[in-house]
Structure 1
Amino acid sequence: MKTPTYAAQYAASLHDPEAFWAGLAGQLHWFQEPPRPVLSQDPDSGLDRWFRGGKLNTSWLCLDFHVQHGRADQVALVYDSPVTGQVRRYTYRELLDLTSRFAGGLRQLGVGPGERVIVYMPNLPEAVVTMLACARLGAVHSVVFGGFAPHELAVRLNDAEPCVLVCASAGLEFDKVIPYKPLVEAALALANHRPDHVVVLQRDFCPAELVPERDVDFRYLLQAAPVDAVPLDATDPLYILYTSGTTGRPKGVVRDNGGHAVALKYSMAAIFGMQPGETFWAASDIGWAVGHSYSVYGPLLHGCTTVLFEGKPVRTPDAGTFWRVIQDHQVRVLFTAPTAIRAIKKEDPTAQLARQYDLSSLRHLFVAGERCDPATYAWAGTTLGVPVVDHWWQTESGWPMLATPVGLADAPAPRAGSAGHPVPGYNVQIVDESGRPVPAGTTGLVAVRLPLPPGCLPTLWRDDARFRSSYLDALPGYYASGDGGYQDAEGYFYIMGRVDDVINVAGHRLSTGEIEELLAAHPAVAECAVLGIACELRGQVPVGLVVLKDGYNLPEEQLQQELVARIRERIGAVACFRQAAVVQRLPKTRSGKILRKTLRQLADGEPFVLPSTIDDPAILDEIRAVLAARGIGQAFAPRVPLG
């Protein structure tokens, strides 16, 4: 069969999106085919919906279909946990058996179509089973990071109003045990809504005490009789995934069943170049959109083997862990965040550990979640000897918007610093504040012309008005991504970060991402963040925070001079870059995104709410001390209480 070309697919997707997506929907098994037109408007909200009237079940497509079509004994899921020393493999038949029986157990607890279930677990096979079991019943799952603070869990309990919460008794961070049950109890005490039951997966290294009448052992539910998949409307919600909001109240991104399945099935082949039966590894926590789309649903919809990893890229036990996983499980495509590659590079800058493993199975490395600086891009490509594909998407989109679709013929080659070209289905444009396209090379707002393709959020959980105000109202006719960037003369897109990461120095608009690129290229710098802090004279001035590679002991003043010289040479004196401070680590979300806005607020002495997604709040105090010692910004002012 001839491989379709990128140009033809992209043109078809924009010329007649309904015909394009109707054709791809035909690759899935529907209990009831969606009627034409496949794109319509919700009669109540007026918002776009895909495949209304079609019936299917995502869990059935991920499991039953493959068992019935020759993949019953193929490995569906590999659980690799260097923190516990365990590797477990589950065939499609075994995963279906576990899922259908756990779904039967949930049904006994009153879980049915439309009910919500909160999943508060680390990367465990049982978490995947829970997600698929909810999908099987038509229940809506919402995964919350295991170990998330009780207040944040309580907020999600109040918003989703689940009838059941499924948790693990504990998680592991390197060699540190984190008991989850006390966090759950604290959240339940804070919440206005409490589920009827708490299902607990007991981990041997830290079992939890169960509350009589309310708590149920996970293994007990696996004794239930298996249940069949429930036919669902394509527009029924599959899951809610909370993302940060500007008001401090998280936004519940909704993913529907039909559009999600069609888009992810397509993306596995077109974007990632995967064939059924091959092994795909998205090194992500299931609490993130990447974990949902490409650790669980995408690979299983496509008949691939997926790797579920419980650990970190370093210190489990060393910076060669990722390379071992690729070798041991014959990974064809690795998808991870640039932060993970930078962490590995920091501890093993000459890639000695990579040479200890056979990486010949790997075809591509995909990176996303944060802009990949060219220095990291080049290091990864040289180390692995495969193309590195930077691409761009968001929790809201659920799958890539910009990429190099390696499964389509004649796709433009990936390029360092660029997130690639629009994926078929996405009419991505760079516009000004009025929604007018800007010339090539001009930085503007990254927006997507409506309608959004299948797989994107159709709305926010129980809040159509907030969906409109957050994404549609600012640029009529477009989805406003909130990111800034530009498109070059050859059609390559460059995402420079959130719009508030563009700083104004004496009237000159500068991208912190561009400055970070130059700092990261210094041989001593492992990773960095550039902040635009307040300045009475110039409005804002950039300040760099840099983390050094292991083994570099460059005097800080010398390093600062070299970094300042780099910026002056490449951008000019207009950047007014004069200060760089060495820090031990940078504050990040659990997906690896650096919390630049929080750092700027800290440096400016502004009050701020402690982000719910922060990995380790203590880092902020460490950086506050460094900034104060260097007299940078207002970090030396009286401490502002964290929210």
Structure 2
Amino acid sequence: MSTGAYSAAYQRSLQDPDGFWGEAARAVEWSTPPARVLDSDRPPFHRWFAGGRLNTCFNALDRHVRDGRGDQPAIHYDSPVTGTRRTLTYAGLLEEVATFAGALASLGVGKGDRVVVYMPMVPEAVVAMLACARIGAVHSVVFGGFAPAELAARIEDARPVVVLAASCGIEPSRVVEYKPLLDAALDRSSHKPQAVVVLQREQARAAVGERDTDWEELDWAELVSDAEPADCVDVEATDPLYILYTSGTTGRPKGIVRDNGGHAVALRWSMTNVFGIDPGDTWFTASDVGWVVGHSYIVYAPLLTGATSVLYEGKPVGTPDAGAFWRVVSDYGVKAMFTAPTAYRAIKRDDPEGALMAGYDLSTLETVFLAGERLDPDTWEWATLRLGVPVVDNWWQTETGWPIAANLRGLEPMPIKPGSPTVPVPGYAVEVLGEAGRPMPAGEEGAICIRLPLPPGTLPTLWGDDDRYVAGYLSAFDGYYLTGDGGFLDEDGYLFVMGRTDDVLNVAGHRLSTGSIEAALAGHPAVAECAVIGVHDELKGQVPRALVVLKAGVDRGSADAVAAELRQRVRDEVGAIASLQRVDVVAALPKTRSGKILRKTMREMADGLPAKVPGTIEDASVLETLAPVLAPPP
């Protein structure tokens, strides 16, 4: 039965943001308390906790050690690709971070300087991020293995004093050497860092200092061996903590700025109220530190809370099988886990009956959280049935840094509606707008927007480009942030996110979301995952095309029969207007390494346009295989 806790919190967050977030800020330790909670003197640029001073690393590590959590595990590092496990206590992690912060300071890195981190899922990546925070430097993590052009663009924009890199990253089937990619990026960039520091991994050691460069090359272990630990440096709440560049950009990359104060307050609040995680709990986020989910919910939120975070260098399948996640849950006593729906679709494809779960003790697992791609009802139903725990969708963006809409398991758990991430989170005034900014009635689709000001922890602007921030996010509707996603609010206030607004099809004048068609396809018992794209049609403007991956064990010889059933299913559930005529059964869908399906790239290929392939693609050979399938008719 509802306690009304959510409604009260939500209304207060919008009507009395100073009181609501001022109270939440008490969970963070300030060296100087904020003079103001919300500063709206310069709209549309709103800032949080102006005048406050703090240190994010102190809040994530030092205060927990001081208060008696020194012996508690902070990080469980688990790497099936190297066969390595390591546990760092809060005291042990603090020692490593303080020492590496001293090493960075010895290289001339100071408050406000940028440091690019180009590393895989290893403890040193977490150490590097926290060490930057400790001395007031601004880190910019670039996903490990990013191609030289994308890495160079980020170095050019961030202008780092130091670049930190690992010698390699490790995939289930290959080793990716990072140093040659980094060298190529630095050759392309007009900005040269003062130093490049390389963490050597035994799977592929890198040559360091053996070529003529414009920068000093150093070995991580040697640098640390001579370093003196550094103390925390206080920064303004509004000073930047990190820059995270959105993937797949062309031209100048788009650097999302995250400030120190609002970020710490929002993530600490979300960990308990959204995810139900308290100090001492063990939390497993299967993502990568190169993505926003990794920043927020592998590194910062768990450590700000005093929880234990699992750092997993592996895949949901293939390291070694589709039981990988269940082993991690069992081995570490995980209370809740967070990953992308695509990971669960991969597990469902390889182990549709969930047989591999039987070998592990999952009794500690209370909740599964999924975000990053739309959670289709079929995947939700499969995971809920197999695991026997709530499987909870949540929706947010790199720009926001924490959930916009969620089922707040700590504040007030709510009934789950498959296909919906539930309700707007306190602080987010979510509205669905139509043409000319007209609010849409319940159940009708429009552009999902957030009325300003955005809550703490969200982007205050783009790195070095206020004008682009306003033009890209705030100009469509006066007084609103445009999310770029379309959807609707139902009569109960539940939000349904139906996909990017550029994935809305216009079929003979009728607007249809790809999400509704995908939901119909995903409900077929033979379908593991699917994607719908809109392609040009001379008569109707656009028509949908579907690409479908079948579950393991389904006879591909029956593909024609399955395709016919899927066409009829869409006709029955979405309507004849959907005009879905072409369904292609394929072996795999192209994705980024964070699990997002490359719908836009496939749409460009299907329309015969030059396809933009992001540097974050997981496996480029999937696109090569799909090329003849997607090619437009001659």
1:508-519 → structure 2 map (5 Å cutoff): 508-519=510-521
* RMSD between superposed Cα atoms in Å: 1.3
Pick the aligned partner of 1:309 from 308, 312, 329. 312
1:272 matched to 2:270:
no
| Partner of residue 350, structure 1 | 353
Residues 486-524 of structure 1: CA distance to partner in whole angstroms, max 9, x if unpaired?
A: 011111110001001110111111111111111111111
Instruction: Please list the CA deviations of residues 109-163 of structure 1 after superposition, one character each: whole Å capped at 9, or x if unmatched.
Output: 0100011000000010000000000000111000001111011000000000001
Separation of aligned partners in 2, 1:477 and 1:42: 14
Could you tell me how far apart the structure 2 residues matched to 1:4 and 1:59 are?
35
Aligned to 1:373: 376
Cα deviation 1:356-379 (Å, max 9, x = unaligned) = 111110110000001100000000
Q: How far did residue 5 of structure 1 move?
A: 1.3
Q: What is the alpha-carbon distance in structure 1 between the residues aligned to residue 28 and residue 202 of structure 2?
A: 40
CA–CA distance in 1 between the matches of 2:514 and 2:433? 19
Task: Report the AA paired with residue 295 of structure 2.
Answer: H
In the alignment, the residues of structure 2 paired with residue 517 and residue 214 of structure 1 have an alpha-carbon distance, to the nearest angstrom, of 53
1:328 aligns with 2:331: yes
Letter in 1 for 2:479: G
- What is the match of residue 609 of structure 2? 606
Q: Deviations over 1:7-37 (max 9, x none)?
A: 111111011011111111122110000013x
Shift of 1:246: 6.3
How far apart, in 2, do the equivalents of 1:248 and 1:537 lie?
35
**1:417 equivalent in alignment to 2:419:** yes
Check if 1:119 corresponds to 2:78. Answer: no
Tell me which residue corresponds to 2:397. 394
Aligned to 1:434: 436
Q: Is the 8 A contact 1:98 1:222 kept in 2?
A: no
Whether the 8 Å contact between 2:602 and 2:611 is mirrored in structure 1 is no
Letter in 1 for 2:31: F
Report whether the alignment pairs 1:341 with 2:344. yes
Secondary structure at the aligned position of 2:140 is classed as strand
Cα distance change of structure 1 residues 499 and 206 upon mapping to structure 2, 3 Å threshold: same
Shift of 1:530: 0.4
SS at match of 1:290: helix
Is 1:532 aligned to 2:534, yes or no? yes
* Residue 209 of structure 2: aligned partner: 211
Contact 1:245–1:251 (8 Å) recurs in 2: no
Residue pair 1:486, 1:494 contacting (<8 A) in 2 also: yes
In structure 1, the partner of 2:46 is: 48
TM-score where L is the length of structure 2: 0.97
**Contact 1:281/1:334 (CA < 8 Å) preserved in 2?**
yes
Partner of 2:56: 58
| 1:69 match: secondary structure | helix
Distance in 1, Cα, partners of 2:250 & 2:452: 25
Alignment match, 1:39? 38
Distance 2:476 2:8 in 1: 32
2:178 to 177, 180, 201: 180
- One-letter identity of the residue aligned with 1:10: Y
Query: Given the superposition, is the C-alpha separation of residues 247 and 545 from structure 1 closer, same or farther in structure 2, using an over 3 Å criterion?
Result: same
Seq. identity, %: 57
Between the two proteins, the alignment pairs up a number of residues equal to 626
Whether the 8 Å contact between 1:248 and 1:609 is mirrored in structure 2 is no
Decide whether the 8 Å contact of 1:101 with 1:221 is kept in 2: no
Q: Residue in 2 aligned with 1:9?
A: 9
SS where residue 588 of structure 1 aligns? coil
**Following TM superposition, by how much is the alpha carbon of 1:4 offset from its aligned partner in structure 2, in angstroms?**
8.3
- Cα deviation for residue 394 of structure 1 reads 0.2
Native 8 Å contact 2:339 2:370 kept in 1: yes
Amino acid of the structure 2 residue aligned with 1:457 = L
SS in 2 for 1:481: strand
Q: Which moved more, 1:454-463 or 1:509-518?
A: 509-518
Taking the aligned partners of 1:248 and 1:478, their CA distance within structure 2 comes to 26
Q: Which letter does structure 1 place at the counterpart of 2:116?
A: I
Return the offset for 1:313: 0.3
Aligned equivalents of 1:190, 1:609: Cα separation in 2: 20
Could you say if the C-alpha distance between residues 42 and 190 of structure 1 is closer, same or farther in structure 2, counting changes exceeding 3 Å? farther
CA contact (8 A) 1:169 1:203 kept: yes
Offset at residue 616 of structure 1 (A): 2.1
Give CA deviations for 1:614-634 in whole Å, capped at 9, x if unaligned: 222222221112234xxxxx1
Aligned to 2:22: 22
- 1:246–1:146 distance in 2 versus 1, CA, 3 Å: closer
Q: How much does 1:268 deviate?
A: 0.3
User: Residues 466-505 of structure 1 correspond to what in structure 2 (within 5 A)?
Assistant: 466-505=468-507
Task: State how far apart, in whole Å, the 1-side matches of 2:337 and 2:224 are.
Answer: 32
Letter of the structure 2 residue corresponding to residue 418 of structure 1 = S
Offset of 1:427 from its aligned partner?
0.8
Work out whether residues 283 and 308 of structure 2, in 8 Å CA contact, stay in contact via their aligned partners in 1: yes
Residue equivalent to 1:631: none
CA contact (8 A) 1:118 1:157 kept: yes
5+ residue gaps in structure 1? 629-633, 638-643
- 1:325-384 Cα deviation digits (max 9, x unpaired): 000011111000000000000000000001111111011000000110000000011111
1:74-96 CA-to-partner distances (Å, cap 9, x unmatched) read 00000010101111000000000
* 2:360 matches 1:361: no
Return the alpha-carbon distance in structure 1 between the equivalents of residues 611 and 572 of structure 2: 35
Contact 1:581/1:627 (CA < 8 Å) preserved in 2? Answer: no
Q: Say if 2:245 and 2:253, in contact at 8 Å, map to a contact too.
A: yes
2:559 paired residue number: 556
Q: Secondary structure at the match of 2:439?
A: coil
Q: Secondary structure at the match of 1:119?
A: strand
1:319 is paired with a residue whose SS is: coil
Moved more, 221-230 or 444-453: 221-230
The 2-side partners of 1:119 and 1:520 are apart by: 38
- Structure 1 residue 551: deviation in Å? 1.2
CA distance in structure 2 between the partners assigned to 1:18 and 1:339 by the alignment: 38
In the alignment, the residues of structure 2 paired with residue 240 and residue 534 of structure 1 have an alpha-carbon distance, to the nearest angstrom, of 37
Please give the alpha-carbon distance, in whole angstroms, between the structure 2 residues aligned to 1:248 and 1:486. Answer: 33
Superposed displacement of residue 6, structure 1: 1.1
* Residue of structure 2 equivalent to 1:101: 99
Residues in 1 aligned to 2:18 and 2:437: alpha-carbon distance in whole angstroms: 25
Q: Distance between the aligned counterparts of 1:29 and 1:487, measured in 2?
A: 37
Matched, 1:595 2:598: yes
1:435 shift after superposition: 1.5
The match for 1:228 among 228, 231, 242 is 231
Moved more, 239-248 or 20-29: 239-248
Distance 1:74 1:35 in 2: 34
User: 2:588 aligned with 1:585, yes or no?
Assistant: yes
Q: Distance in 1 between matches of 2:327 and 2:34?
A: 44
Query: 2:591 is aligned with what amino acid?
Result: K
For residues 528-556 of structure 1, what are the alpha-carbon distances to aligned partners after superposition, in whole Å with 9 as ceiling and x for unaligned? 10011000011111110011111111422
Which of residues 510, 519, 522 is equivalent to 1:520?
522
TM-score if structure 1 supplies the norm length? 0.96
Residue 280 of structure 1: SS of its match in structure 2?
Answer: strand
Unpaired runs of 5+ residues, structure 2, are: none
Report which stretch shifted further, 458-467 or 570-579: 570-579
Q: How does 1:281-320 map to 2 (within 5 A)?
A: 281-320=284-323
Alignment partners' CA distance in 2, 1:599 and 1:461: 30
- For the residues of structure 2 that align with 1:148 and 1:246, how far apart are their CA atoms? 13
| 1:306 CA displacement | 0.3
